[in-house]
Amino acid sequence: MTPTPVTIAAEDGQARNPALPTPESALAMRGMTVSYGEKPAVFSVDATFPAGAMSAIIGPNGAGKSTLLKASLGVVPRLSGAVTVFGTPIEKARDRIAYVPQRASVDWDFPTTVIDVVQMGLYRKVGLLGRLSGAAAQQARTCLDRVGMADFADRQIGQLSGGQQQRVFLARALVQDADLYLLDEPFAGVDAATERAIIDVLKLLKSEGKSVVAVHHDLATARGYFDHVFLINVRRIAEGPVETTFTAENLNATYGGRLSATHVDELTLTGGAA
Ligand SMILES: Nc1ncnc2c1ncn2[C@@H]1O[C@H](COP(=O)(O)OP(=O)(O)OP(=O)(O)O)[C@@H](O)[C@H]1O
Ligand SMILES: [Mg+2]
C-alpha cells in the first residue's frame, strides 16, 4: 500500500507549528533575532523554505538577507532563534548544506588555484588532515566542467573575472554534493551567459531533488527563476509561493514605497523573464 503523503496545512504559506519541524522544509527558522549593535539587523523572523524547491530571499540593501543566512549557519551569532534543516537542528545537519557567500565578502587575493578552491569543498567530508584522493581531484574537475570553468583549473583565483569567480564558487558548492544549497546573490555582477549557466545548474539541482535558497536582487527575474519567495526588511514581510506572494502590495511593504508604481505593476503583472 502506498503511504499517504503527510502534508502540513499552511493556507497562507506561513502557519506552521514551531514545535514540529517538518522534514518537508529544507530550512526553517523560528524567532531569529540578530544584532551587530543596538539595532537588530534581523528581528524575530520565522521562515520556512520548502524542500525540493527554488526559494528566493528578497529585500532592499541592508534588509538583513545575508545576516539571515550567516546567522542560520552560525557564521554570526544569533541573539535568539532556532534553525532546522530537513527537520533536524542545523548543528547536526551541517554536512547536508553547501553555502556560497556574497562575492564581495570574499578575499580574492588569497593565493590559491581554482582547482584548490573547488577541492576545499571536500574538506568537510575528508577532514582537514585527510588526504584528497585522485578521485577527489577528478570530482572537482567534473564540477568545474559543469559550470564551464574546466579550462581555468590551474589559474590563480585572484586572476579571474567576477563572473568566473562566481562560477568557481558554485563548483565548490557542487562538489560538496549537499541537499541544501544556500547562495548569497549568485547572479550579482555576472553577464547574461554566466547568469544562464548558473540558473541552469540550479534548476538541474532542483530536478535532482535538491533544495535551493538564494538571496536575489533582480525583481524582474524572480518569478521566472523561483517557486517560493521570502520577503524581508529586518522583519519578515511575507513568504509563500511566488504566484501568490510576489505581489505589488508585498513588494511595496518590503521596499517601503521606494519602487515606482509602474515598475511594481510591470513586475507583478507581466511575470518577468523565464
Ligand atoms: N559585520 C557587521 N557589523 C556591523 N553591522 C553589520 C555587519 N554586517 C552587516 N551589518 C549591518 O546589518 C544590516 C544588515 O546587513 P546585511 O548584510 O545582512 O544586509 P543585506 O540584506 O544582505 O544587504 P545587501 O543587499 O546590501 O547585501 C545592515 O544595516 C548592515 O550595515
Ligand atoms: Mg547581502
**pLDDT, tens digit, 9 for 90 and up, residues 55-69:** 999 999 999 999 999
Q: In the prediction, which pLDDT does 73 show?
A: 94
Q: How do residues 81-136 score in pLDDT, each as one tens digit?
A: 999 999 999 999 998 999 998 877 777 777 889 999 999 888 766 555 556 677 78
Give, for ligand 1, the residue of 32, 34, 36 to mutate: max count of ligand atoms closer than 8 Å to Cβ.
Answer: 36
Domain boundaries, the chain: 25-270
Q: How do residues 167-223 score in pLDDT, each as one tens digit?
A: 999 999 999 989 999 999 999 988 999 999 999 999 999 999 999 999 999 999 999
Cα separation, 86 vs 131, whole angstroms: 30
Name the pLDDT band for 8 (thresholds 50, 70, 90): very low
SS3 113: strand
**Measured from the CB, is residue 64 less than 6 Å from ligand 1?**
yes
Query: Is pLDDT above 50 for 14?
Result: no
Residue 156 is classified by DSSP as B
Name the pLDDT band for 6 (thresholds 50, 70, 90): very low
Strands (E), 63-163: 80-85, 88-89, 97-100
Dihedral of the alpha carbons of 75, 159, 215, 84, in degrees to the nearest 10:
-30
Q: In the prediction, which pLDDT does 198 show?
A: 92
Residues composing the chain: 274
Cα separation, 48 vs 134, whole angstroms: 39
In one-letter notation, the amino acid at residue 219 is L
Q: Are 100 and 42 in contact (CB under 8 A)?
A: no
Give, for ligand 1, the residue of 32, 38, 67 to mutate: max count of ligand atoms closer than 8 Å to Cβ.
Answer: 67
Residue 248 has phi, psi (to 5 degrees) of -55, -45
Cα separation, 244 vs 202, whole angstroms: 22
* Residue identifier of the C-alpha nearest atom 25 of ligand 1: 61
Mean pLDDT of the chain: 86
- Predicted TM-score (pTM) of the model is 0.87
> Does 3.40.50.300 match the CATH number of domain 25-270?
yes
* Residue identifier of the C-alpha nearest atom 16 of ligand 1: 64
Ligand 2 centroid to residue 270 C-alpha, Å: 27
